[in-house]
Amino acid sequence: MDPVVLIGLAPLFLVVAADVWVYRDARARANTRREVEASIGPWHIATPETWLGGCAVLFLIFFPMYLVVRSASE
């Protein structure tokens, strides 16, 4: 594979890896005292699937939000 293509795909691989980490981490914390939950207006984000979907669609918003909410739930 051409190195230029690999360099272009590197951000995509990093985003997918971060999305997988968010899902696995949120799933491990689900139904515990360390559950990661956030509310934005009428939306309540609490399930691992919701975090994964948010990160997959709006990574630049949801990933930093997950990290902030996660650190607050420690």
pLDDT at 71: 94
**Domain extent for 18:** 3-72
Global pTM reads: 0.89
Identity of the amino acid at 37 = E
The SS3 assignment for 41 reads coil
List, for residues 21-71, the tens digit of each pLDDT value.
999 999 999 989 999 999 989 999 999 999 999 999 999 999 999 999 999
| In contact, 71 and 43? CB cutoff 8 Å | no
Total domains, the chain: 1
